Structure 1
């Protein structure tokens, strides 16, 4: 009598989360996976334990000369509620939330699957940028070359099963997004607090470099530079790169040594653009920044925290700093690829404050290129910023007015809009690159790469237990961060991986010159009006190979 098979397995795409109670027949079988040269692709193997006992399972994947394959375990984290203000048909995990949801991708390829439970492994592929001489696989009918990627699962009782994924390696060699700034705010204080190191001491830099590398590998082309401690989301631990000393005669001496090290580390990691700290406080443009003589001494402020934004003391500080900053940027060769901020998210009621601060900067540094997250079209019409960054709900107003702009989302909008939350369908996230291309965005900003704090405080949360900064429903689950803190570097989330493939789609669209009115994009009417049921790769649209 044949022994019963203890597990069932299925290869599936990465557009669907695999929950502990997911049935394999709910998951689409994996089709042919397209991948550009020098690009990435992914798929999952879902495994169901059909027995009343736990089973220890390992998985392995075979790489080739042209396709490097890595495998990670899809981890589960608790999600206590669905995010709010979203229709049921735009929520993932209905029936699974509250409960454990898949998000972190842990290194390693072993797991214990409980009785009648389903888990998954995530297989990431990276293609060589040039073909090797030995090509054992056949050519696909629609171009490119077909490769087989075997994935083997092994149970502790010796049971083994191998499934093969078909991967189409396209002729297109992916080029970097050199002309499209994408930025996620990178919190140096979070690294210091989580990894128990002082700002910019020796132990800090190897950790920071791993996170910067992670950013750029996910097509994040722009790296945040904390020239000063960021004045966003509460009063933060001092993490100021710029060294400042006030001389007896009232003038300032500046040291750019740590700024230089940060820039050069970021460039070595692949950064192409640089975003600099806001010069004024958030949500009102009312105050000067907190500038410290020492990151180790919070009482070493150069002026009281209530100092007005355009006060004489702050204007004099900037008058001395900004010419030296320009010289430094020119010496480092980054002036033309740097973006500066006045203040984050001013409302229309703050127009006059913003105008006064912007005019002060313009008088002191006419060379400075300024961009800010501000959604009211009045800012654009008045020309108060060089590069407006409206929320995706307001971005169409800027397009209609003929005002070039980046765009962003954060806690909202929700509902039918694009977002990247714990219960945003993965297919919806994967549409991001197409939406940015179709709807005329010239860059993208998000505030939450690694914000591992309780909202507006310095209190660390456990990201593996709380993903809304303790502020749900105002802050939705999944908004404050896209990576988890690992032992010595970042742990990717599946949201971050799918986002990276969406940005790869954007790179392909821009590289191949596909028009924004291409038939495959024509159904996109807005950031909240698009079909995300089954996005195909642009590689399947017959794109040219150059």
Structure 2
């Protein structure tokens, strides 16, 4: 059996050439998570049906450990184009991504068997303590059948106290609680629902997420015209003569849940339909808080309601001031984000302007963000969230985007969360957000367990591309846990985006101590880093992290 140990800044495909890194050493800020990988494979010429197993003994000193088997998942749509830089492959196949938790019971070796030919991987997370120290992980790898030692090594793990600095970048991710409920077959707003939602929130918070999209009403996203997703409305609404009364108790429960999970803000759903703002958001009237219904139930306002419908606009003019007052009593006003319509198109510019004008006035002083790809919308969207593939067009219009996003369309050269991408495409995000002083980042797919347009549920472990319509990994970063109450199952991409957020924290900590120029000199000495250029490879990335830790250290 062949074995090797590497850092966590690379993905290892079963057919890769893997060089052991005998000098792997881990360093990070106190309280952070650092990682390494153990790889093993058996000789292909072996003909017996008995696959050899590997015993892994991990003895930790001053640090806590967690270990995961890296499972292969089917990647049918790695990238639309052949031979694109930054991808492990452009052909369909099985690629490493899913992290399945392993039992590290004290005093017992972890025995793992190969699940496929070629390299198999165990990912090890090392939780550094909250105080400055040097810990160690003693790693012994041995053949299970013979007891022969293959590697016997100690990995130093250094926790460094760094400057305390606030990260001014807000990170928003859309969690899709209806798809979570549909995946498990559970009742929306039931006990199991809240357990599952909190587990997904915790996973989002673990990678630096500030807020997730709250279903105050069912978000008008990712459906065909005329169709609805499973309804889940936190908001209670009652018609009272010419007016409306509102019950925000369901929203309060959401905020409480998100706080427990480690989130600090709230993202309000869009007021109008996606890709054009032609219709109202799906909102039920004369329903209590925490209202749900089958997708076949027609809401009071919805696709049949034109976006300029006087009754709907009157409803919003009554709702928004009261909702805003309530939210600002519960959450820091600077951590509340509002939306009008997602990705309006150029042909919708006039109607978008007409629809949103009066409502923007009602939200004066609040933060309104909307994803856009066309600089024409600079005059009508308060805070554009610009697709990273379109940044150059906005720069040509003399606008450096404050907020950015990527989705399935940002696949040629851009950082993203696709399974087939190399680790560099995930790890670089922290450096990008720092270099361009981004106020925020938005992503649509944290846990979209549906096919395209939410037509049907899918199992993301076997269907990674929303039914063949997206690039694999675009719709989700996590896999659902075995039960609603279980922690979600992570991914290599989730772990690497956690590291990317740590690097963003380090950049701001180092700037506080030494200034911005000193940080840029470390992360981008050649001045080539951009949204689609200058990504450091694994060895260079490790050097940068070590340098940032030293730069940000308090002493």
Q: TM-score, normalized by length of structure 1? A: 0.89
SS in 2 for 1:167: strand
TM-superposed CA distance for 1:178, in Å, is 4.7
Q: Which runs of 5+ in 1 are unaligned?
A: 1-6, 136-144
Match of 1:371 in 2: 369
| 2:477 is the alignment partner of 1:482 | yes
TM-superposed CA distance for 1:86, in Å, is 5.7
Match of 2:141 in 1: 153
| 2:192 is the alignment partner of 1:195 | no
Match of 1:140 in 2: none
Q: 1:423 & 1:148 partners in 2: Cα distance? A: 33
Q: 1:449 & 1:197 partners in 2: Cα distance? A: 19
TM-superposed CA distance for 1:398, in Å, is 4.0
TM-superposed CA distance for 1:470, in Å, is 1.2
Q: 1:522 to 1:222 in 2, by over 3 A?
A: farther
TM-superposed CA distance for 1:214, in Å, is 1.0
Q: Is the 8 A contact 1:20 1:100 kept in 2?
A: no
Match of 2:105 in 1: none
TM-superposed CA distance for 1:58, in Å, is 4.3
Structure 1, residues 327-348: CA drift from partner, whole Å, max 9, x if none? 2113213333101001001122
SS in 2 for 1:320: helix
TM-superposed CA distance for 1:263, in Å, is 0.7
Q: Is the 8 A contact 1:290 1:303 kept in 2?
A: yes
Quick one: which of 435, 438, 441 aligns to 2:435? 438
Q: Which moved more, 1:277-286 or 1:331-340?
A: 331-340
| 2:275 is the alignment partner of 1:283 | yes
SS in 2 for 1:239: strand
Q: Which moved more, 1:234-243 or 1:393-402?
A: 393-402
SS in 2 for 1:436: helix
Structure 1, residues 277-334: CA drift from partner, whole Å, max 9, x if none? 0111000011111112341255352135221112111111112211211221132133
Higher relative contact order (CA 8 A, sep 6+): 2
Q: 1:49 to 1:30 in 2, by over 3 A?
A: farther
Match of 2:107 in 1: none
Q: 1:296 to 1:402 in 2, by over 3 A?
A: closer
Quick one: which of 456, 460, 479 aligns to 2:457? 460
Quick one: which of 268, 272, 277 aligns to 2:264? 272
SS in 2 for 1:107: strand
SS in 1 for 2:497: helix
Match of 1:530 in 2: 534
Q: 1:185 & 1:275 partners in 2: Cα distance? A: 9
| 2:357 is the alignment partner of 1:353 | no
Q: 1:214 & 1:107 partners in 2: Cα distance? A: 14
> What is the 5 A alignment of 1:194-273?
194-234=183-223, 235-247=228-240, 249-273=241-265
Give the number of aligned pairs.
518
Q: Is the 8 A contact 2:426 2:497 kept in 1?
A: yes
Match of 1:183 in 2: 172
TM-superposed CA distance for 1:409, in Å, is 0.6
Q: 1:506 & 1:395 partners in 2: Cα distance? A: 20
Q: 2:382 & 2:66 partners in 1: Cα distance? A: 42
TM-superposed CA distance for 1:153, in Å, is 3.5
Q: Is the 8 A contact 2:339 2:370 kept in 1?
A: yes
Match of 2:340 in 1: 342
Quick one: which of 94, 98, 111 aligns to 1:100? 94
SS in 1 for 2:388: coil
Q: 1:527 & 1:439 partners in 2: Cα distance? A: 9
Q: Is the 8 A contact 2:529 2:535 kept in 1?
A: no
Q: 2:441 & 2:534 partners in 1: Cα distance? A: 19
Match of 2:551 in 1: 543
Q: 1:357 & 1:21 partners in 2: Cα distance? A: 54
SS in 2 for 1:225: coil
Q: 1:275 to 1:195 in 2, by over 3 A?
A: same
Q: TM-score, normalized by length of structure 2? A: 0.87
Structure 1, residues 454-496: CA drift from partner, whole Å, max 9, x if none? 1002411121111111134xx1111000101111231111011
TM-superposed CA distance for 1:420, in Å, is 1.8
Q: 2:173 & 2:206 partners in 1: Cα distance? A: 13
TM-superposed CA distance for 1:522, in Å, is 3.4
Quick one: which of 40, 46, 49 aligns to 1:47? 40
Q: Is the 8 A contact 2:199 2:488 kept in 1?
A: yes
- Structure 1 stretches of 4+ moved >6 Å: none
TM-superposed CA distance for 1:255, in Å, is 1.3
Q: 2:12 & 2:162 partners in 1: Cα distance? A: 31
SS in 2 for 1:295: strand
Match of 1:139 in 2: none
Q: Is the 8 A contact 2:391 2:401 kept in 1?
A: no
Q: Which runs of 5+ in 2 are unaligned?
A: 103-109
Q: Is the 8 A contact 1:177 1:221 kept in 2?
A: no
Q: 1:174 & 1:123 partners in 2: Cα distance? A: 27
Q: 1:194 to 1:304 in 2, by over 3 A?
A: closer
| 2:402 is the alignment partner of 1:405 | yes
Q: 1:519 & 1:497 partners in 2: Cα distance? A: 23
